[in-house]
Structure 1
Amino acid sequence: METRKEDVSIGSDIYTHKEIEPTTVMNTCDAIAGFVQAMKEYGVTQWRAVATSSVQEAKNAYFVKEQIYRKTGLELEWLSNAEEGYLHNQAVANDTDDFQQFIHDGTMLIDIGSGSIQLTVYNEGRFQFSRNIKLGPLRVRELLKDLERKVSPFTELMEDFILSKIDAYQQFTSPKVKIEHFILIGTDLMAFKRAFSKKNSEWITREHFNTIYNGILSYPEQELAKKYTVSLDAVSQLLPSAMLVKKLLEWTEAKKIFLSTVDLVDGLIVHEYTKNRKKRPDSSLDADIIEAARRMASHYQCTEKDRERVGKFALHIFDRLKPLHGLKKRDRLLLQLGVILRNIGSFVTVDAHYLHSYYLIKSTELIGISMQEQKIVANLARYHSWLTPTEDGLHFDAIQPEVRLRIAKLAAILRAADALDDSKQQKISSIRVSLKEEEVMIIPTSEYDLSLERWTFIEKIKDQQLKHLASLPFGAVTLTEAFFKDDTRTGAAFFRGSTYIEEKLREVEWLMEGANLPIYATGGSSRSLAKVYRNRLREQNNLLELHGLAMTKNDVYSIFGDILSKDANERKQLRGISKERSDIIIGGLLPLITIMKLLDSPKLIVSEHGLREGVLLEQMGM
């Protein structure tokens, strides 16, 4: 119906000042307000507004996002590099004739943004890799502009800089991978296209590119701007863009370059259209996402047999239990990714490999999934083995409630599927899954002894959700007033207090279900205990964060005994206990000590967060 575009200097601000200047924020809000008004005039009821990853690099990115919302009512969605590349791929696949033939021959999609480039390689019709390099032409010019007048020839400096950044990315492509074609994408390539395009053709040959490239090196920017009728700003990005393509041509044997006219907006349109009309472009881009995960798993030496068998079981359970879990098709894809990547942490160490899998997934770009989806996949790997959300409360509770539910459901399916091949010997050939009312039956078919799989399966599918909650009158002030009002440190006062607490605890019928389990503690008294412990460790040059600090029961008893032996004035001198807390610390710690002894808890894990953080996270929707 209509295409509108407004130019604002966001990229220049970010790469020069590390933040978006107030004037630019105002201009951006004015431009977006114009878009919003146009949507109102057309009666638009559904929209999607996105900001690329380069915008998120600004120090004031969240302030800018909030200002845009306040002044225009439009809420921006952050895009990751991987999402942005995926959307561009969708647009190219939809817009380019013979795209399937190109990716069969071997094609590199080169998406040149102002701040970064995204390289995506296909060969023999299959996805090979996709990587983002922070080497966009505007970023390069802004980073090097201070040297432009000091170094001669400046073009050699720029060429060396680009080569130093791009050279390491050759490792991601096997020598066996052929690249016959380049497809060039970018919203700021006007000068490039005017310089290199041939009349009536979207293709340029390697030879034509080299001829033009050698020519533009000898022209000043002012003359290039005149020659190609573009602004000096556009011309300033011509040489870095051309150098990037030149280096990639030297790296590959590509013979032709296709100059695509699509941009991010086209990708968004294609994505929404295919999603709502349930129609897909020619290239199966979900298959690209799965292939990217498989290549990542292979990089970390995970076996294909293991992931194929567990994947088969997980997807069968997901499909059969759809009436029970109510998850969507996209969640099925995330489950597949979780299966493929769950064991990559074993490359670091087998012990607690699920934690290493978690941070490797979180730290690696995976094409086609959002930042939130990447966190979901990472958490599936975190919880697929023995660690559960219940035992990992400090981490799990910080996740948005609706996302926690998705993770919990998918992790339950993955844990069950993983247990069915716990021996890694593919003993089970198939499974049958049936759902009757609230009972799920999973029946394996096998010719082998399944004792290990049976035991592991039962252990992993135990209910890991919150089972019980009780509130008891054990406040630090209340107990201090009742038993330690006069700073009584006698054994009798301690005995009366702990006996009272234990009697109340034993009234809680389910309490002993927590026997021999770690205790997670929050609140001022437990934090003070942890600070005293941490200060002792610091004397041994052992530095630890307070949040998540773990103490053995012997550590806890030892420090509490030390605190108990001191009077109020002496307690004020202890590093880690504030003057305000020193009067009530014994009353505050007594319930903790009593519970640990009653349950024989092996360790105490302290949270630095409390009620304030809980309220804040709830208000933020986290």
Structure 2
Amino acid sequence: MSNYPPKTLVIFPKITYNNNRWHFTPNLLFRDNSIIITLRPARRISDMAVTTFAAIDVGSHETSLRIYEVSKKFGIRELDYVHHTARLGYETYSTKHISYHSIDKLCTILNGFKEKMKEYGISDYMIASTSALREADNNLIVLDQVRQRTGFRIKILSNSEQRYLCYKSIAFKENSFHRLIQKGTLLVDVGGGSMQLSLFDKNNLICTQNILLGSLRIQEFLQDMQKHTDNYQNLVYEYISNDLHTFSELYLKDHKIKNIIAVGNQLRTFVKYLTVHNFGHLQPTDSKGKKKDSVSRQEYDEFYEAISSQHPEDLAKELNTSVDQASLLLPTAMIYHNIFEETGAEQMWLSGITLCEGMAADFAERKERISPAHSFLEDIIHTARSTAARYDYSRNHCEYVENAALKIFDAVKRQQNMTKHDRLLLQIAVILHNCGSFINLNEVGENSYKIIMSTELIGISHKERMIVATAVRYLRDYFPEYSELQDGFDKEDYVRIAKLNAILRLADAMDRSHKQKFTAITTSLRRQTLTITGSTLYDITLEQGIFRNHSDFFEEVFGIQPILKQKKTMTPKHTDSTKAKNGGNHE
């Protein structure tokens, strides 16, 4: 430092290279006589870190690549977007089979994407497909060919996983989402193969339903019939209207729908149409010059009337897109028009959300610890409760068993290395375990299994739904050996199911009479003994007997002996239930 005179400020830049980007960190050194003071930025490195992430959507009509920049400071920002037409859905929805020609084209596209990703130095990515591969009878062959020829391992998303990613993206991207769902809001996600209708009200997800009415599937199904009619628009309307009306009658009659949130790849074309035409109320910006993100019912009717009068060839030229892409605009527009009619909604919010953005949001939450304002965990639980209510479940019994089951889980979770997600699956299983009694009191487990397997639970995978259903299926019957299960579970899945089932058996035994006899429940794990103490003055002979019947299975699964003790005092009912549901007092 002797080369620098007194009272000299010296900047020593620290330059690092990370994730294909140069990062500059200044170190400020101030020399005053013999004193050197080092000043560094107060911001933590983790707060400044930027990760580049790629999301690839192998869709029904096109395969797309979106590249994002993800950081705590700036959130999620799109850097690049590339897409190519690959009409996998046309083959899947008509023949259930994807041809070699389509596989070859897909591999060529993906290898091109691979080169683009190299330009950005990307190591974090996700590649996913939905119904186009999910419904193809040769999807395993397609996955293997893609892996061999490109190195990519495509993940085929279940419908619930696909929609959950999109919902996450909306919550990340838009602050208005939380405000909108305070009142009746229908989120309509129209894809190529199907649509997802999800009802939100009072900040909760009430229900969700998948209908096989996607724009590409509609077009493919009606292709031959179109030749025999002069009114294709009416043909499409008749095809889609009954299913949408049925959904409205079953799920919307007790809710006033004020908003529609539109999701899907076709929304890009919608917005482009508004921008190109720029007529009447359909301005691309509002009165303050801001980009519009919603249209009123009147504005949408004008848009629908205009687009219905144009041929796909004319639309393609006008929007500078392919005829195939333009031809999907009318079925999509008709779906939203029909939903406006069924719901009487006042406005439609054009979210512009895609599956790729959902993948980026999921990555941001998992890797960068960036969380959306809206809690989708609560949505999953609320949907399970709404489903159980449709089957007239015993609410008091289920809440009581839920409290007991979660306390048992929290007592053993650390020793057994059980996760928060295991706890969620247990909670869903408890909520739905008794809904089968609505159908037949003699086969409650089997009927509950069928109800769960037929119910869309956004946020858990199809396999996790099978795990929940199987844990409920054998609640009171003999629990099968691994070789007896026919649902393709691996050995880890089998053990997971057994653990959930063993906990559920004990908790259900504690309220076999459905009289909620215990007014307070505590748990204590000492060595290999789990003591469950309940406060009550009632006769618990029935509960003790059934508990003992299930204790051997619990001990076999966990290596822990459960004991049920009675504390003969009275305390207010369910004083500890809220704490158990929210995470318990055991770590």
Alignment of 1:274 onto 2:365: yes
2:262 to 184, 193, 198: 184
Query: Matches of 2:150 and 2:319 in 1, distance apart?
Result: 37
Q: Which residue of 2 aligns with 1:199?
A: 284
- Give the residue type in structure 2 aligned to 1:51: S
Alignment of 1:448 onto 2:538: yes
TM-score by length of 1: 0.72
Alignment of 1:403 onto 2:493: yes
Superposition pairs of residues 237-386 of structure 1, within 5 angstroms:
237-386=328-477
Q: Which residue of 2 aligns with 1:426?
A: 516
Query: In proportion to residue count, which structure has more strand?
Result: 2
Kindly state the Cα deviation for residue 83 of structure 1 after the two structures are TM-superposed.
1.4
Q: Secondary structure at the match of 2:222?
A: helix
Kindly state the Cα deviation for residue 66 of structure 1 after the two structures are TM-superposed.
1.8
Kindly state the Cα deviation for residue 211 of structure 1 after the two structures are TM-superposed.
1.3
Query: Matches of 1:251 and 1:308 in 2, distance apart?
Result: 35
Query: Matches of 2:381 and 2:544 in 1, distance apart?
Result: 30
Kindly state the Cα deviation for residue 348 of structure 1 after the two structures are TM-superposed.
1.8
Q: Which residue of 1 aligns with 2:236?
A: 158
2:224 to 146, 163, 178: 146
Kindly state the Cα deviation for residue 271 of structure 1 after the two structures are TM-superposed.
1.7
- Give the residue type in structure 1 aligned to 2:436: G
Q: Which residue of 2 aligns with 1:417?
A: 507
- Give the residue type in structure 2 aligned to 1:164: N
Q: 1:21-50 CA deviation, whole Å, 9 max, x = no partner? A: 211101112222333445556554444322
Moved more, 121-130 or 46-55: 46-55
Q: 1:281-310 CA deviation, whole Å, 9 max, x = no partner? A: 111111111111111111111121111111
Tell me if the contact between 1:325 and 1:409 (Cα under 8 Å) persists in the aligned partners. Answer: no
Tell me if the contact between 1:114 and 1:188 (Cα under 8 Å) persists in the aligned partners. Answer: no
Tell me if the contact between 2:132 and 2:193 (Cα under 8 Å) persists in the aligned partners. Answer: yes
Alignment of 1:79 onto 2:157: yes
Tell me if the contact between 1:338 and 1:381 (Cα under 8 Å) persists in the aligned partners. Answer: yes
Kindly state the Cα deviation for residue 320 of structure 1 after the two structures are TM-superposed.
1.7
Kindly state the Cα deviation for residue 76 of structure 1 after the two structures are TM-superposed.
2.1
2:141 to 63, 72, 75: 63
- Give the residue type in structure 1 aligned to 2:153: E
Alignment of 1:11 onto 2:89: yes
Q: Secondary structure at the match of 1:48?
A: strand
Alignment of 1:104 onto 2:157: no
Q: 1:153-174 CA deviation, whole Å, 9 max, x = no partner? A: 1211111111133221113324
Distance 1:435 1:46, change over 3 A: farther
Kindly state the Cα deviation for residue 128 of structure 1 after the two structures are TM-superposed.
1.6
Alignment of 1:31 onto 2:109: yes
Q: Secondary structure at the match of 1:104?
A: coil
Q: Which residue of 2 aligns with 1:492?
A: none
Q: 1:253-292 CA deviation, whole Å, 9 max, x = no partner? A: 2111111122111112212222334443111111111111
Kindly state the Cα deviation for residue 334 of structure 1 after the two structures are TM-superposed.
0.4
Structure 1 stretches of 5 or more lacking a match? 468-622
- Give the residue type in structure 1 aligned to 2:166: H
Query: Matches of 1:153 and 1:42 in 2, distance apart?
Result: 49
Kindly state the Cα deviation for residue 221 of structure 1 after the two structures are TM-superposed.
2.3
TM-score by length of 2: 0.76
Percent of pairs with identical residues: 33
Q: Which residue of 2 aligns with 1:50?
A: 128
- Give the residue type in structure 2 aligned to 1:32: L
Distance 1:465 1:9, change over 3 A: farther
Distance 1:306 1:396, change over 3 A: farther
Distance 1:217 1:398, change over 3 A: closer
Distance 1:133 1:24, change over 3 A: same
Q: 1:453-496 CA deviation, whole Å, 9 max, x = no partner? A: 111111012137989xxxxxxxxxxxxxxxxxxxxxxxxxxxxx
Query: Matches of 2:325 and 2:118 in 1, distance apart?
Result: 33
Q: Secondary structure at the match of 2:85?
A: coil
Distance 1:229 1:31, change over 3 A: closer
- Give the residue type in structure 1 aligned to 2:500: L
Tell me if the contact between 1:357 and 1:378 (Cα under 8 Å) persists in the aligned partners. Answer: yes
Q: Secondary structure at the match of 1:462?
A: helix
Kindly state the Cα deviation for residue 229 of structure 1 after the two structures are TM-superposed.
2.8
Q: 1:515-547 CA deviation, whole Å, 9 max, x = no partner? A: xxxxxxxxxxxxxxxxxxxxxxxxxxxxxxxxx
Q: 1:232-270 CA deviation, whole Å, 9 max, x = no partner? A: 112101110111011100011211111112211111221
Q: Which residue of 2 aligns with 1:506?
A: none
Q: Secondary structure at the match of 1:302?
A: coil
Distance 1:175 1:333, change over 3 A: same
Distance 1:76 1:278, change over 3 A: same
Q: Secondary structure at the match of 2:272?
A: helix
Query: Matches of 2:225 and 2:207 in 1, distance apart?
Result: 34
Q: Which has the larger radius of gyration?
A: 1
Distance 1:393 1:425, change over 3 A: farther
Query: In proportion to residue count, which structure has more helix?
Result: 1
Q: Which residue of 2 aligns with 1:95?
A: 173
Distance 1:41 1:413, change over 3 A: farther
Query: Matches of 1:128 and 1:54 in 2, distance apart?
Result: 28
Distance 1:237 1:397, change over 3 A: closer
